[in-house]
Amino acid sequence: MEFKEVIGRRRSIRFFDPDRPVEREKIQVMLEAARLSSCAVNAHWLKAIVVQRDYLSDEMLEKLKTPVFNIQLDLAPVHIYLFADMSVVNKNEGARLKELVDVNALPPTHGWSHQFVDELVYPQILKPLTENPAYAAVAAADAGLAAGQMLLAGVDEGLGVGLNTPNPEHIHEVLGVPEEWMMIWVLLAGYPAESWDAGGQRPRPPFEEQFFEGEYGVPFERSEKVVDSLKKDKMIQKEAVPDDPERKAEIRALAERFGLPL
Amino acid sequence: MSSSFSLKIITEYETVNTWLAGLEKHWGGDPINDDPSRLPTLEEFCVTNAVDPDTIIKECKRTNKAGDPRISVKGRKKYSDLIDLFQGNSEGTKIEKAKRGNIVRSFLIHNAILLSPGAVKGDEK
């Protein structure tokens, strides 16, 4: 699938085929994609635990549910629990930045050296960052970037994917993860039981409300020519609309199939 | 079941009308006639538990100190458990039992009380 179409086809899938297993190779592809994501200071906060739903006991599965998030957990055959390891910066003490210096990704042309990392970057910037209240946002944003690549890789592999929030109260206990791992999301993966289109691309705020040019308040002008080109490349697709009879019929059929309320 | 308990005509309850209006707005059609088991099933649940529909919803809601409406965790849990019990005691296959529980869940959902059952999967039907 072409890159733009992968972006265009991604949906948050909420109905998975519970009985169709996911090939292990496809999960690895998703993990490899996450591993290669852009990452601030080469820290790699993201940690992930891949769980086959059927290996969770009923009791464990129940503990991971919340009132707004349970059907997807029941249906998705693969759960990838995503965390940010908050200890990683102080464990590495700048070592991973120095790896970037060594391979000239952070070259002296841009002011980088081992000495610079050891004397300034780690002790004066990174270490204090870990004590700053904003640190969690930095780690979460970074893990989010990796999760985004994981999602797109899953779509490219023909899977349905979606990010959700498991019950934070029990996550450490159920999965036995260290306390310093901060829960981010669970990425559910499986073959969709709903159509891949899932009713169409979700409604978005107007382009001009999100993107500006030069300064705040000046909308980035959206070229219709570019939009048309993206439609041709299937990045921009049919948008989901209210009261779509086909989508309603699909949801009714899924409710019937899985015993869900209307 | 309380022998002295009785309900008004079910459609006279405000929350039942909220439910039916919600169903009609979301799904279209005629919620009463499209699924004739809806109202009798809710009525049966109410009689079984000696509680009227408006009271169910009232027990599932509360107001916090700031005066903002909130879902009552205690009330929601109580009715979630009662629905599970009602469903479990119903006749039929798992899907048929789930349908009866889901009618009551739908009543709560359209009255802003989120409830969702686990999905019935292939080997459980």
Can you give the pLDDT at residue A68? 79
Task: Dump pLDDT digits (tens) for B92-119.
Answer: 998 899 999 999 999 999 999 988 777 8
Can you give the pLDDT at residue B109? 95
Task: Dump pLDDT digits (tens) for B49-71.
Answer: 999 999 999 999 999 999 998 99
Task: Give the one of A18, A74, A261 whose C-beta lies nearest to B105's C-beta.
Answer: A261
Is any Cβ of chain A less than 8 angstroms from the Cβ of B120? yes
Task: Dump pLDDT digits (tens) for B14-45.
Answer: 999 999 999 999 999 999 999 999 999 999 99
Question: Between chains, do A75 and B121 touch, taking CB under 8 Å as contact?
Answer: yes
What distance in Å separates the CA atoms of residue A128 and residue A135, rounded to the nearest whole number?
9
Task: Give the one of A71, A248, A259 whose C-beta lies nearest to B99's C-beta.
Answer: A259
Q: How confident is the model at residue B121 (pLDDT cuts 50, 70, 90)?
A: confident
Percentage of chain B modeled with pLDDT above 90: 78
Question: Between chains, do A74 and B95 touch, taking CB under 8 Å as contact?
Answer: no
**B83: Cβ–Cβ under 8 A, 6 or more apart, which residues?**
B45, B101, B104, B105, B115
What distance in Å separates the CA atoms of residue A238 and residue A31, rounded to the nearest whole number?
30
Angle between helices A24-35 and A135-156 in degrees, nearest 10: 140
Asked if pLDDT for residue B2 goes beyond 60, the answer is no
Residues of A in contact with B103 (CB under 8 A): 261
Is any Cβ of chain A less than 8 angstroms from the Cβ of B105? yes
Q: Where are the domains of chain B?
A: 12-116
CA-based nearest distance B6→chain A, Å:
27
Strand partners, A181: A85
Can you give the pLDDT at residue B118? 77
Percentage of chain B modeled with pLDDT above 70: 94
> Tokens for B77?
């849990």
Task: Give the one of B76, B106, B121 whose C-beta lies nearest to A261's C-beta.
Answer: B106
Question: Between chains, do A71 and B94 touch, taking CB under 8 Å as contact?
Answer: no
Question: Between chains, do B120 and A259 touch, taking CB under 8 Å as contact?
Answer: yes
Question: Between chains, do B102 and A261 touch, taking CB under 8 Å as contact?
Answer: yes
Question: Between chains, do B27 and A261 touch, taking CB under 8 Å as contact?
Answer: no
Is any Cβ of chain A less than 8 angstroms from the Cβ of B103? yes
- Closest by CA to A142, choosing from A100, A101, A88, is A88
Residues of A in contact with B28 (CB under 8 A): 243, 248
Can you give the pLDDT at residue B99? 93
Give A 74-93 residues with CB within 8 A of chain B: 74-75
Measured in whole angstroms, the distance separating CA A37 from the mean position of its chain's CA atoms is 11
Is any Cβ of chain B less than 8 angstroms from the Cβ of A262? yes
User: What is the DSSP annotation of A11-58?
Assistant: -B---B-TTSPPPHHHHHHHHHHHHTS--GGG---EEEEEEEGGGS-H
Domains of chain A: 3-196 (3.40.109.10)
Tell me the CA distances in angstroms from A155 to A6, A147, A238, A243, one per residue in order.
Answer: 6, 12, 17, 26
DSSP B117: P
CA-based nearest distance B37→chain A, Å:
13
Location of structure tokens 């005066």: B67
HSE-CB of A63 using CA atoms within 13 angstroms: 13
CA-based nearest distance B79→chain A, Å:
13
Question: Between chains, do B114 and A252 touch, taking CB under 8 Å as contact?
Answer: no
Can you give the pLDDT at residue B125? 64
Question: Between chains, do A259 and B116 touch, taking CB under 8 Å as contact?
Answer: no
- Interface A-B: count of C-beta contacts within 8 A: 57
CA-based nearest distance B100→chain A, Å:
9
Is any Cβ of chain A less than 8 angstroms from the Cβ of B78? no
The Cβ of residue A181 has, within 10 Å, a number of other Cβ atoms equal to 21
Can you give the pLDDT at residue B119? 84
Task: Give the one of A243, A248, A259 whose C-beta lies nearest to B117's C-beta.
Answer: A259
Which residues of chain A carry a pLDDT beneath 70?
Answer: none
Task: Give the one of A18, A67, A248 whose C-beta lies nearest to B27's C-beta.
Answer: A248
Residues of B in contact with A246 (CB under 8 A): none
What distance in Å separates the CA atoms of residue A33 and residue A151, rounded to the nearest whole number?
9
What distance in Å separates the CA atoms of residue A175 and residue B87, rounded to the nearest whole number?
31
Task: Dump pLDDT digits (tens) for A172-198.
Answer: 999 999 999 999 999 999 999 999 999
**A74: Cβ–Cβ under 8 A, 6 or more apart, which residues?**
A18, A53, A61, B118, B119, B121
